[in-house]
Chain A
């Protein structure tokens, strides 16, 4: 990006409203992952796109101030670590890695399917953070400078 100031006031105003709708939709997809098509990855990508909308509209300077990048890195690592820990709990409870060891509940209910919603949430956070951080780093790179050839 040439300037870090972002786009015009119209885009900024629209983004301010639409981002929250997109985040809401992302969480809807993530939380209903065990009932409908979608789930962790799909919802996570929508989450990342919501944050990337802010990046496009407001520029990378504002985005980095608004979202604490260091914190996002930690959340990314912690989410996959929690995923592994829940998987290892499966070994200790029922003897198989990633075993579904919580009560399954009733079919078609939001709170059901044991560990699958937990995994969906963790995967969603991981995908969102990874994708957002990857694109942020690519966008921040100054393509004209940096070579020492």
Chain B
């Protein structure tokens, strides 16, 4: 149970960062932390104690294994997060070129 609570704390750290930080790069990192927390959730749900990794290996066919599906899901979601981060970094660079600052409170031409 304690691992789930710690995982939730990690999620909250990310959420806190998104809500309170003013630096674009820190916001991007916080979104990343939230994503890692969600991935960790998936992996924790799949974990069984005394189990083997879910890949067929010669001589170990009959062992009990952890659930492979969440690991596949996490791989997919890591790929998606890689894309998100790359896109957000590109946008942050463009925003710096235009506004000469990384401070989100100074980047507000749109409001109302």
Contact = CB atoms under 8 A, between A and B. Distances in A.
Quick check: do A and B touch in the complex, using CB within 8 A?
yes
- Give the contact-size bracket for chain A: 10 to 19
B74 to A, nearest CB: 12
Interface stretch (B28-36, B37-45, B86-94): B86-94
Grouping DSSP codes into helix (H, G, I), strand (E, B) and loop, the B interface class, with mixed when no group exceeds half, is helix
Given A41-B75, A138-B89, A138-B90, A147 B56 contact: no
A114 to B, nearest CB: 15
Interface residues of B, number: 16
B55 interface: yes
Given A41-B75, A41-B79, A147-B100, A138 B93 contact: yes
B4 interface: no
B75 A141 contact: no
A36 B96 CA distance: 43
A17 interface: no
Interface string A116-149: 0000000000000001001001100101111111
Contacts of A36: 55
A55 B90 CA distance: 18
A11 B75 CA distance: 33
A143 B89 contact: no
Contacts of A147: 97-100
Nearest to A148: B98
Nearest to B96: A143
Contacts of A141: 93, 97
B58 A108 contact: yes
Contacts of B93: 138, 141, 143
A148 B97 CA distance: 8
Contacts of A37: 53, 55
Contacts of A134: 86, 90
Interface of B: 53, 55-56, 58, 75, 79, 82, 86, 89-90, 93, 96-100
18 contacts: A37-B53, A37-B55, A41-B75, A41-B79, A108-B58, A134-B86, A137-B90, A138-B86, A138-B89, A138-B90, A138-B93, A141-B97, A143-B93, A145-B97, A146-B97, A147-B97, A148-B98, A149-B98
